[in-house]
Amino acid sequence: MEGFSINIESEEVVKKMILVGLWCIQTNPGSRPSMSKVVDMLQCSIDDLEMPPKPTLSSP
pLDDT truncated to tens, each residue of the chain (60 aa)?
A: 555 667 888 899 999 999 999 999 998 899 999 999 999 999 999 999 999 987 666 555
pLDDT at 7: 86
pLDDT at 18: 93
DSSP letter for 2, please: T
Residue 58 in domain: no
CA angle, corner 37, sides to 50 and 42, nearest 5? Answer: 65
Q: Which domain holds residue 25?
A: 9-48
pLDDT at 6: 72
**Total count of domains within the chain:** 1
Residue 2 in domain: no
Entry pTM: 0.76
Residue 59 in domain: no
Residue 44 in domain: yes
